[in-house]
Structure 1
Amino acid sequence: MTGRLDRAQPYVLGLFRIVVGLLFACHGAASLFGVLGGAAGTGGTVETGAWPSWYAAVIQLVGGGLVLLGLGTRVAALIASGSMAYAYFKVHQPSALWPLENGGEPSALFCWAFLLLVFTGSGAFGLDRLFARRSAAGDRPAAERQTPVAA
């Protein structure tokens, strides 16, 4: 049983990355463009250049999109994780200690989910893997890249 689960790990990790990236990008799109309920569920948008909300929304949209695609996953996830740690400790934690009390559960969960992706990488279905395969194939000598023709 463990062997089957181990073989599925890159695919489940890839699906996890896609879902987390999509949800994070949706937060950014809501804040920047007023879609999906808008900024903080008000239907509005954050003011351009407003610190830290506008910058957070840009990180959410761009970082979430990169993680969703599996492109530069580790770097994008590191920046996204840091932004969520900042959000938790500067916005939520001063009002109460526990995430359940201070409304910081999404920030805490996103922070840890992205930190996990920093260490695991993109898993299956990511553009990172596609580009890694292409560059590895390009590094091989031309004789090894040619496939033999069946007679």
Structure 2
Amino acid sequence: MDQTFSKFQPLALSLLRFITGLLLFQFGVAKLLKFPPGTMFDKVELFSLVGTAGIIELILGALLMIGLFSRIVAFVLSGEMAFAYFIYHFPKGFYPLLNGGTLAIAFCFACLYLATSGPGPISVDAMLKK
């Protein structure tokens, strides 16, 4: 069983990187472009803390999706998510399930893993390496 699943590890890594980037990108789109309408980010101003987070998520999420500068991008995003958790969620309470910080923690550690493991074989970084 281990050998069967381990064959797919490089592909799963590329898929994890792409989906993580896509999900962060969607938060950037919601915060900056107000799409889709009706989200909790409809009133975000560009030059605010949340607006700055949106810029980071939009640009670095796109870079993570295509796999360009993946390690440094993932590291910066990991830090942004840790910052978001401790600035916004943690003051609301200790338990992530109650303070709404579960997703920020998941993104933080997914990006930290990507920073240490690299982009996977299906990425611009892998293409440039060849």
- TM class, shorter-length: over 0.9
Partner residue in 1 for 2:47: 49
Letter in 1 for 2:42: G
Q: 1:121 to 1:37 in 2, by over 3 A?
A: farther
Amino acid at match of 1:34: K
TM-score, normalization by structure 2: 0.94
CA separation of 1:101/1:43 partners in 2, compared to 1, >3 Å: closer, same or farther? closer
State the SS of the aligned residue for 1:131: helix
**Structure number, greater radius of gyration:** 1
Q: Name the SS of the counterpart of 2:11 in structure 1.
A: helix
Q: In the aligned structure 1, how far is the partner of 2:129 from the partner of 2:43?
A: 38
Determine which of 99, 122, 125 is the counterpart of 1:125.
122
Gaps of 5+ in 1: 134-151
For 1:33, the equivalent position in structure 2 comes to 33
> Equivalent residue for 2:23?
23
Deviation at 1:44, TM superposition (A): 1.9
Which structure is higher in RCO with an 8 Å CA cutoff and minimum separation 6? 2
CA distance in 1, matches of 2:16, 2:121: 10
Corresponding residue of 1:6: 6
The alpha-carbon deviation at position 43 of structure 1 amounts to 6.3
Question: Structure 1 stretch 3-12 or stretch 70-79: which is displaced more?
Answer: 3-12
**Between Structure 1 and Structure 2, how many residues are aligned?**
130
Residue segments in structure 2 that go unaligned for 5+ positions in a row = none
Aligned equivalents of 2:54 and 2:41: distance in 1?
Answer: 14
Over 3 Å off, 4+ runs: none
Structure 2 partner of 1:144: none
Q: Give the aligned CA root-mean-square deviation in angstroms.
A: 1.3
